[in-house]
Amino acid sequence: MSSHLTTHVLDASSGTPAQNVVVSLARHLPGGGTAGVAQAFTDVDGRAALGPERLEPGMYALTFGTGAWFADRGIASFYPLVTVTFTVEDTDRHYHVPLLLSPFAYSTYRGS
């Protein structure tokens, strides 16, 4: 199984998928700094796949453009960006990082 990364963004306040959220994946570099890996927009089901078929071991950051998404809908929100930092250790696994989103809160977990 490949270990590429997927995400699923749900608008918890409406109970619907969050379509067209920009999502960026970056890798933290040893010694400091980050390097961009991939960028995507969520589809009609709020889903996106990012990155290569195999992620190298290391620390990554997945950043969601939540403020712009809410602004496009005329909704005030508190978090302009949500960044989820995680570690890839097992390069033979698939990584799924869902985001439950509302204007003033968010939650994430390691999915399957």
Instruction: Write out pLDDT tens, residues 50-68.
Output: 988 888 999 999 999 999 9
* Percent residues over pLDDT 90 in the chain: 81
Fold of 5-108: Immunoglobulin-like (2.60.40)
The domain ranges of the chain are 5-108
Whether this prediction's pTM lies above 0.85 is answered by yes
Phi, psi of 92 (to 5 degrees): -95, 5
Contact (Cβ atoms closer than 8 angstroms) between residue 41 and residue 21: yes
- Residue 78: strand, helix, or coil: coil
